[in-house]
Structure 1
Amino acid sequence: MKRLGKALLCGAIGLGLLAAPALAQEKPKYGGTLEVGTVYVTLTALSFDPADWNWKLNHDTGNYLEQLFAADLSKSVRNGGKHPFYADAWLPTDAIRGELAESWEWKQNPLRVEVKLRKGVMFPEKPGVMAARELTADDVVFSFYRLAKSAKAQKGYFDYVDKVEAKDKYTVDFLFKEFHAEWDYRFGWGYYSPIYPKEMADAGASNWKNGNGTGPFMLTDFVQGSSNTYSRNPNYWDKEKIGGEEYKLPFLDKVVYRTIKDEATFLTALRTAKLDLLEAIRWSAADDLKKTTPQLKWSRWLNMSGTFLAMRVDTKPFDDIRVRRALNYAVNKQEIVKAYYGGNAELFAYPQHPDYVGYFEPLDSMPDSVKELFIYNPDKAKKLLAEAGYPKGFSFKVQVCSCSPDHMDLLPLVAAYLEQVGVKLEIQPMEYAAFLSAMTTKTNAPGYFMNNGHTNPTRSLHKSFYTKEVWNPSQWADPAYDAKIDAMYREPDEGKRQAMIKELTREILDKAPYIWLPTPYIYTAWWPWVKGYNGELRAGAVRPGPIYARMWVDQELKKKMGK
């Protein structure tokens, strides 16, 4: 363990400090409300209790619950840096800052990370829950163990941790049994790492009214299926330097998430300025909006979720690789890119993503056995099906979420291709809660049509293809593959880890547990009065809170535009 490699360099004390933005010169203005249709505009909050291990938690609590680390937004493209901050759960090693952590340092004998917390960070008063008080190391320890000991905890998620200790009021030690490549992601800035007071849990963390944290906003209203309202925390600790002048955050009085299930309705809400910002727009709708509402500002990003039809490999006929490969040959993916997406999609970006520099390998660099899975060849599909004992094809059920307009349109097209080789689909649309439950309880149908987040280069492989993992709709189970993933996690050298990940990615692509489909481009649009923004979406795992804290609304401009 003398040389821990690049993966550990992000723990250097200096990276825990805030850096000043370089290019954002326009003077910010305080006040106003930001009405947002987020990336998850069709989905209401699933839970407010961190111990529920809900993937969407940071999206709904990340305005008021903070974490040890967050994205260093001073390194965004808007501020002259190289990072767009679109990724759902990927922070490059050079783009992490301390949030509640002021600094952190690796130490040996025993192997551990020592985290120094910021002093003077306050939990606000919450009537009926707690008096105002300072954040301490005990809050970090409490948050970790309540998560790790939850009945809903993901098995093995913290196996690499020996213990977490409060050394003094502002110092926490994370002691490790062994090095783990995701140490900072899993309890630093990931999906399940918010820091909150014991008083919140004692009052009942599942009740949104008891939510309380150190973040820039406070959750002041929630209407199931309609809206989340966050109001400015007047005692928030952080500041931002803009144009050489330091400003107290946040600028906005309120941020409101609108939950709108119907695509036509949320597009109309943006067009009529009932939404100031809509974070996820299909390419076909973007073309129309650009014509009807030319004042909007835009960014385009390759979807951070991969699209596929998962085939349960523990169910016939999908236990036969010939069948799985045949169904890939049967779908004309190039035609889907051109005709369905109008060229606004790429082959392929799952389970890795082009944003993952050093980890991603493009299709043209792959072995021929992988490349051919993306080439339309119905004759070869029929031949393989016949060899597997299905000369006349077969039928199977496919579950799809009605919450995705794209999937409701795309799946019938996939079904039409498969029918040409004798394979018929029984399509079962489901509401999101039931759809998600089917996968997490492993009762999903033989076919499961979904988007799944790339997450980050390491986690993308583990969560989707590790035996009995939650986000594993194909029910892939291969002890040898598991062992390779385990070895990758233990490798401290990032360069070696990148090579291991490329090999693991090639292997799973070749074995085809999914029908690999194109990944579409998505658009974000906002009105010109939304300032301090250039399309950034996440500052940690599905967490936009630090981004909204740095945005403001030019209310005079909004009035001049008649909105």
Structure 2
Amino acid sequence: MRRFLPLALALPLALAAPRAEAVPFTWAYGADVLTLDPHASNNTFTNAFLGNVYETMARHNERLELEPALAERWETIAPNVWRFHLRRGVKFHGGEDFTADDVVFSWARISSPGALAKGNLSQVVDVRAVDDYTVDIETRGPFPILLNALTQFYIMDRGWSERQNAALSSNLTSREENAAGRMANGTGPFRVVSRQVDGPTVMEAFPGWWDRPRHNLTTVTFQPIRAASTRTAALISGAVDALVELPIQDIPRIEGNSALQVVQGPELRTIYLGFDHNRDELQYSDVRGRNPFRDLRVRRAVYQAIDVETLRRTIMRGNSWVAGSMASPFLSGSPEPGDEAQRRTFPYDPDAAKRLLAEAGYPEGFGVSLSCPNDRYVYDERLCLAIIGMLGRVGIRVTPQVETTNVWSRRINGLDTSFFMLGHAGLPLADAYSTLQEVLMTRSERTGGLNVGRWSNAEFDALVQRIAEEGDEPRRRALIREALLIEKREVGHVPLHQQPVIWAARRGIALAPSPDNRMRLWLVRMP
């Protein structure tokens, strides 16, 4: 797997033996977790947060290397069957024993109607227990990156879930939440003590954790703080010990404070614009009787009306990496930077955009709404407003539909949008296949769970199916490149950039940062 260059000013992971006395840790982010139900959300931050409470059979470490977790080892016993030997002696936070029955139950639960976390497991057809500590997983065909896919398959205790009337996943789309949305019982290094929506979520170190703790924490408090200026002020005042996603404009302020430190580098996430390709008439547009985004010329006009270099320089203050592809070049399997599949397809050219709109039958342009979050991505609202100005100059009159993450997420999950900003990090696989399968494949029960605009191409879908089964890495990379070029030619989406990872903390705290922007609390050490 391709690795990131070392992050600038990376906070080192202390390797010394834990101190006798441990300490509390408080950290902040710009949005709350959507739910504690590990199967109900496909939100990257929520999934990452829950990785401190629930566990999977294999996991990525801070270097994005795969390593055993609830499974000690595995092997393939047939081209499409993997056998996993589970770790013995593992306890859930409630004291229950972890067994194969919990894995089989969790597979059924993540397959229930309300679950949104199954996308990367679309190649799995069956999970069955061989005995109490052995599980076979059968896939539709050879699936060489199954271990990557399993890094988001969180295991729940069957008995606890049934006692809480939470045998099925919560359904965030229909706002149907069960007890697992507000309480948790995992096997991870921290257990939830209390949960307050849009307030603090308090956890404590789980003394029965099977792994060797590298942290020295007793309690952890997560505090969502939506306003960027308030988050920074909380760090400076000492109200929080660390924060994820420091505002770019505050980097010099924090670096100039001898009591604080900053870490930054490229994130895996690609920020992009998407179109509603599916509806005959857009929901939020002044065009009647047709969908302008079904015309390649209109999509290309949008692409060429946006000056991504200006966005990088002025909005992102130079702290982003212009994207020419929907899959970050830092993801495993992606083409290298500079390859045709990673370069911008068309140049910024507003005059060309106007000509394309006229050719498509919109010489005076048209109106449409753009769905954007204001607390999900780095400078998301500012980016959207700048893009709206650029599109306005070629005749596309855009109404901002700016909402908090909770509201925007419901809109995105409900496909209630005509034109939208979204981001995808290729996680949990840390592989380009995740973007291809989840974001770009035709939306179905098994694929395209994040294909909000419902772009569809049969040739592309067939290639992704071949990628899923291809065990030869050079050939797999070639197929990934071919698939990305198909989407680029159709301008199915408009990639903007890879945003930065920017964390900050009190000096001396070791956070073990990673390009997947995941706070692994079991690696955090306080001075």
TM-score class, shorter: 0.7 to 0.9
1:165-188 residue CA offsets vs partner (Å, 9 max, x unmatched): 2222211111334112442233x2
Residue 260 of structure 1 corresponds to 225
Q: Describe how 1:257-406 pairs up with structure 2 within 5 A.
A: 257-291=222-256, 293-314=257-278, 315=282, 316-348=291-323, 350-362=325-337, 364-366=338-340, 371-373=344-346, 375-404=347-376, 406=379
Structure 1: how far apart are the matches of 2:355 and 2:455? 25
Structure 2: how far apart are the matches of 1:24 and 1:349? 37
1:289-338 residue CA offsets vs partner (Å, 9 max, x unmatched): 223x2332222122332222212223521111111111211122222222
Kept in 1, the 8 Å contact 2:268–2:330? The answer is: no
User: Which of 183, 189, 207 is residue 151 of structure 2 equivalent to?
Assistant: 189
Structure 1: how far apart are the matches of 2:124 and 2:387? 44
Quote how far apart the aligned CAs of 1:260 are: 0.8
1:134 matches 2:97:
yes
Structure 2: how far apart are the matches of 1:146 and 1:520? 33
Kept in 2, the 8 Å contact 1:68–1:101? The answer is: yes
Structure 2: how far apart are the matches of 1:200 and 1:155? 18
Quote how far apart the aligned CAs of 1:268 are: 0.6
Cα–Cα, structure 1 residues 273 and 151, in superposed 2: closer, same or farther, change >3 Å?
A: closer
1:172 matches 2:141:
no
Structure 2: how far apart are the matches of 1:328 and 1:537? 27
Kept in 1, the 8 Å contact 2:102–2:155? The answer is: no
Cα–Cα, structure 1 residues 154 and 367, in superposed 2: closer, same or farther, change >3 Å?
A: closer
Quote how far apart the aligned CAs of 1:100 are: 0.9
Indicate the SS of the match to 1:417.
helix
Residue 128 of structure 1 corresponds to none
Residue 422 of structure 1 corresponds to 395
1:203 matches 2:173:
no
Indicate the SS of the match to 1:135.
coil
Residue 77 of structure 1 corresponds to none
Kept in 2, the 8 Å contact 1:359–1:498? The answer is: yes
1:423-478 residue CA offsets vs partner (Å, 9 max, x unmatched): 2111111232331222222221x211233333331010121121222312322022
TM-score (norm 1): 0.80
Structure 1: how far apart are the matches of 2:259 and 2:119? 50
Residue 91 of structure 2 corresponds to 122
Listed as ranges, the gaps of 5+ residues in structure 1 are: 1-5, 7-21, 74-82, 84-90, 126-131, 240-247, 555-563
Indicate the SS of the match to 1:381.
helix
Kept in 2, the 8 Å contact 1:238–1:249? The answer is: no
Cα–Cα, structure 1 residues 159 and 267, in superposed 2: closer, same or farther, change >3 Å?
A: closer
Quote how far apart the aligned CAs of 1:249 are: 5.5
Aligned-partner residue type, residue 58 of structure 1:
N
Residue 17 of structure 1 corresponds to none
Residue 476 of structure 2 corresponds to 497
Structure 1: how far apart are the matches of 2:48 and 2:13? 27
Indicate the SS of the match to 2:504.
strand
Aligned-partner residue type, residue 36 of structure 1:
W
Cα–Cα, structure 1 residues 394 and 150, in superposed 2: closer, same or farther, change >3 Å?
A: closer
Cα–Cα, structure 1 residues 365 and 34, in superposed 2: closer, same or farther, change >3 Å?
A: same
Kept in 1, the 8 Å contact 2:116–2:449? The answer is: no
Structure 1: how far apart are the matches of 2:202 and 2:42? 20
User: Which of 76, 81, 85 is residue 112 of structure 1 equivalent to?
Assistant: 81
Aligned-partner residue type, residue 339 of structure 2:
S
Structure 2: how far apart are the matches of 1:342 and 1:156? 34
Structure 2: how far apart are the matches of 1:154 and 1:398? 26
Quote how far apart the aligned CAs of 1:35 are: 0.7
Residue 78 of structure 1 corresponds to none
Indicate the SS of the match to 2:164.
helix
Kept in 1, the 8 Å contact 2:273–2:421? The answer is: yes
Residue 408 of structure 1 corresponds to 381
1:148 matches 2:111:
yes
Quote how far apart the aligned CAs of 1:341 are: 2.3
Residue 36 of structure 1 corresponds to 27
Indicate the SS of the match to 2:454.
coil
Structure 2: how far apart are the matches of 1:482 and 1:158? 16
Residue 71 of structure 2 corresponds to 101
Cα–Cα, structure 1 residues 277 and 350, in superposed 2: closer, same or farther, change >3 Å?
A: farther
Fraction of identical pairs, as percent: 23
Residue 175 of structure 2 corresponds to none
User: Which of 435, 438, 441 is residue 463 of structure 1 equivalent to?
Assistant: 438
Residue 10 of structure 1 corresponds to none
User: Which of 485, 489, 495 is residue 510 of structure 1 equivalent to?
Assistant: 489
Indicate the SS of the match to 2:222.
strand
Kept in 2, the 8 Å contact 1:298–1:523? The answer is: yes
- Number of corresponding residues: 484
Structure 2: how far apart are the matches of 1:334 and 1:535? 27
Quote how far apart the aligned CAs of 1:28 are: 3.0
Aligned-partner residue type, residue 96 of structure 1:
L
Structure 2: how far apart are the matches of 1:172 and 1:324? 47
Structure 1: how far apart are the matches of 2:375 and 2:484? 29
Quote how far apart the aligned CAs of 1:350 are: 4.5
Listed as ranges, the gaps of 5+ residues in structure 2 are: 2-11, 167-177, 283-290
Kept in 1, the 8 Å contact 2:365–2:394? The answer is: yes
1:63-107 residue CA offsets vs partner (Å, 9 max, x unmatched): 22111111245xxxxxxxxx3xxxxxxx4xxx2111111111111
Q: Say what the alpha-carbon RMSD is for the aligned residues.
A: 2.6
Q: Describe how 1:11-90 pairs up with structure 2 within 5 A.
A: 24-29=14-19, 30-37=21-28, 41-55=29-43, 56-73=45-62, 83=63
